[in-house]
Amino acid sequence: MEQWVVNKEEDYKDIMPEVAEFIVSSKIVLLNGEMGSGKTTFVRHLNQFLGADQASSPTFSIVNQYQYDNGIINHFDLYRLERADELSEIGFEEYLESGNLCLIEWPALGKNYYPENTIIIEFSIIDKSTRKLVLNSNIFK
């Protein structure tokens, strides 16, 4: 388990080199936490660090794709899906098997699809400008 306290958004530039290393090596990353806890904001700062296209919330599109030097980032938000069979309609498994980075907000519906190397980051709100990130590398624990 790793954890970081982000006192303000600008602090992401200090912690992102370390966090990004976990993300890039595991490839499949679940982003858990209540609305407003900073999941989408985290992806924006990660993209900035990796030199990828500007991230936005995929709440309505379900998945956004961004380009960067090392390939493609798939950014999901499963909030609006209601049934697991909607995941096969969008080709969720193929995205996960593509070898590209997959970042997944509201990941619970996809639980049967996640491989063993998946990591999870739990976001929590400490106060208006402070967030806590807890990273676990075994999602099945």
Ligand X SMILES: Nc1ncnc2c1ncn2[C@@H]1O[C@H](COP(=O)(O)OP(=O)(O)O)[C@@H](O)[C@H]1O
Q: Site residues (CB under 6 A) for ligand X?
A: 6, 8-9, 33, 35-41, 57, 105, 129-131
Angle between helices 39-50 and 12-26 (to 10 degrees): 90
* Residue whose C-alpha is closest to residue 74's, from 60, 86, 92, 88: 92
- Compute the C-alpha angle 40/46/51, nearest 5°: 125
Secondary structure element (H or E) that encloses residue 41, with its range: helix 39-50
- In whole angstroms, the minimum distance from the beta carbon of 57 to Mg ion comes to 5
| Number of neighbouring beta carbons within 10 Å of residue 139 | 18
- In whole angstroms, the minimum distance from the beta carbon of 116 to ligand X comes to 26
Residue 40 within binding range of Mg ion, rule CB under 5 A: yes
Q: Which is nearer to ligand X, 9 or 53 (CB)?
A: 9
Which residues in 62-121 contact Mg ion (CB under 5 A)? 105
Q: Which one of 3-11, 53-61, 81-89, 92-100 is the stretch in contact with Mg ion (CB under 5 A)?
A: 53-61
Residue 44 within binding range of Mg ion, rule CB under 5 A: no
